[in-house]
Amino acid sequence: MVGREIFCESGRLGLQHTDFMHPLQPADLARAHVVACDGGARCDIRALLACEVGHGQYRLHALKDYTGPPIPADRVYSRKELGPLEAKVYFAHRH
């Protein structure tokens, strides 16, 4: 399945297509490739998805290209904590 953006609203995930929104389950992300482009010609593969669950608080989800240690499902990270990983993280859009 191909989409344009991944959204996260109140902890629920969705994949935006041109004409509709497809609901995602966290387990779907383990099979997902995310390519983020900066608006120019530069695009990078992201290995983690951050879903904002509170003001400046994020829950991480591993994407298909993630090769690091397991991510605790109940752990919440601040934006500051994610700073060193920023090049690997896709921050889901809020709908």
| Calpha distance 93→5 (Å, rounded) | 7
| Calpha distance 53→91 (Å, rounded) | 12
Q: Read off the pLDDT of each residue in 64-80 and give the average, rounded to a whole number.
A: 93
Per-residue model confidence as pLDDT tens digits over 42-68: 899 999 999 998 899 999 999 998 999
**Higher pLDDT residue, 41 or 58?**
58
Q: Which residue has the tokens 């700073």?
A: 83
Query: What per-residue confidence (pLDDT) applies to 69?
Result: 93
Query: What per-residue confidence (pLDDT) applies to 95?
Result: 62
The domain ranges of the chain are: 5-91
Query: What per-residue confidence (pLDDT) applies to 11?
Result: 74
| Calpha distance 92→79 (Å, rounded) | 13
pTM of the model as a whole: 0.86
